[in-house]
Amino acid sequence: MKIKVARCAGFCFGVKRAINIAESALKELKGRDRIYSFGAIIHNPQVVEELFKKGLRVINNLEKIKGGTVIISSHGAPLETVEDIKRKGIKLIDATCPFVKYAQNIVKDLKKDGYEIIIVGDSAHPEVKALKSIAGKNKKSKKIGVISQTTQNKENYINEIKKILNRDFSEVKIFNTICNDTSKRQSATRRLLEDCDLMIVIGGKNSANTKRLWQICKESGVDSFHVETEPEVNKNWFNGKKRVGITSGASTPDSMVKKIIERIRRF
């Protein structure tokens, strides 16, 4: 049985950056200040647990926080949250992914210029929540601005754009805010699917970009499984299989990919 790993496995740039920012803050402020992240710093429970052991506490609201340092996660945070942190005089460290920041800046410009803003993405995802808070209360307009959550499936984004173009409008501005890493991972996964009869997708169950990869795999018809850690990998999945493809989300560490490959080889 052959095991093939997608070229884009492991952490993406934005995730590496957020973890480095968190670890630097923990090292610098250890024992001198409480350090929180607003929401999970990245969507990988195992990495979040390791940072917890080092002193990073995850919070989802600021009600009981009166001091210390709050790190904004890689997904960004709602405008009201950022303003509340500043109002309380709490030290703020922004670990928002630069690609997410780029999308946020587009929303700011569209709002200023009077566009109706359409965000294609998961409404419950923290990145989209932050974008919606920046957009504010949307007004109907014949000038439409369209952006995407950075981890969207390109095909899904294109389909939504086609629907928008059927509306009555005077002007439409469309921005490709799907990050380059997301596009590369999806393309690499599709290439693996052409040559594999089983796919293992590794990443947090709460990771949007990992779920996109799993969706792509499932839609291909190839037997596919989404796992976070190596104990979830079942020996029976590999019966009669000759070529196994491995792909992973942007917040999955290389170490987890290696552990899962080792487990498969033991089978």
DSSP 187-231: HHHHHHHTT-SEEEEES-TT-HHHHHHHHHHHHHTSEEEEESSGG
192 and 234 inside one domain: yes
**Cα gap 101→107, rounded to integer Å:** 10
- Could you tell me if 50 and 26 are in contact, meaning their C-beta atoms sit under 8 angstroms apart? no
Of the candidates 228, 155, 217, 166, the one whose C-alpha atom is nearest the C-alpha of residue 192 is: 217
Tokens 């795999």, located at residue: 217
Phi, psi of 265 (to 5 degrees): -65, -35
144: containing domain: 99-178
The contacts of residue 228 (CB under 8 Å, 6+ apart) are 44, 45, 46, 202, 203, 204, 205, 256
Would residue 50 show up in a list of annotated catalytic residues for this protein? no
Could you give the C-alpha distances from 203 to 78, 94, 98, 118, 247, in angstroms and in order? 25, 24, 21, 28, 9
Cβ pair 233, 200 in contact under 8 A: yes
Output the pLDDT for position 8: 82
Query: What value does the CA radius of gyration of the chain take, rounded to a whole number of Å?
Result: 20
Residues 211 and 154 in one domain: no
Looking at the structure, tell me whether residues 111 and 90 fall in a common domain: no
- Ramachandran bin of 7, using left for φ above 0, alpha for ψ from -120 to 50, beta for the remaining angles: alpha
Based on the fold, state whether residues 89 and 103 are members of the same structural domain: no
Active-site annotation holder among 50, 63, 80, 127: 127
Q: Which residues of the chain have pLDDT under 50?
A: none
Domains contained in the chain, number: 3
pLDDT for 30 equals 77
Last residue of a domain, one of 76, 96, 116: 96
Judgement on whether residues 257 and 243 belong to the same structural domain of the protein: yes
Residues 141 and 218 in one domain: no
Among 53, 72, 96, the domain boundary falls at 96
- List the one residue out of 108, 104, 112, 145 whose CA is nearest residue 128: 104
Last residue of a domain, one of 96, 117, 132: 96
CATH of the domain at 51: 3.40.50.11270
Token pair 């170490």 is at which residue? 255
d(CA 61, CA 125): 15
- Comparing CA positions, the residue from 151, 143, 266 lying closest to residue 207 is 151
CATH code of 187's domain: 3.40.1010.20
Shared domain check, 75 and 22: yes
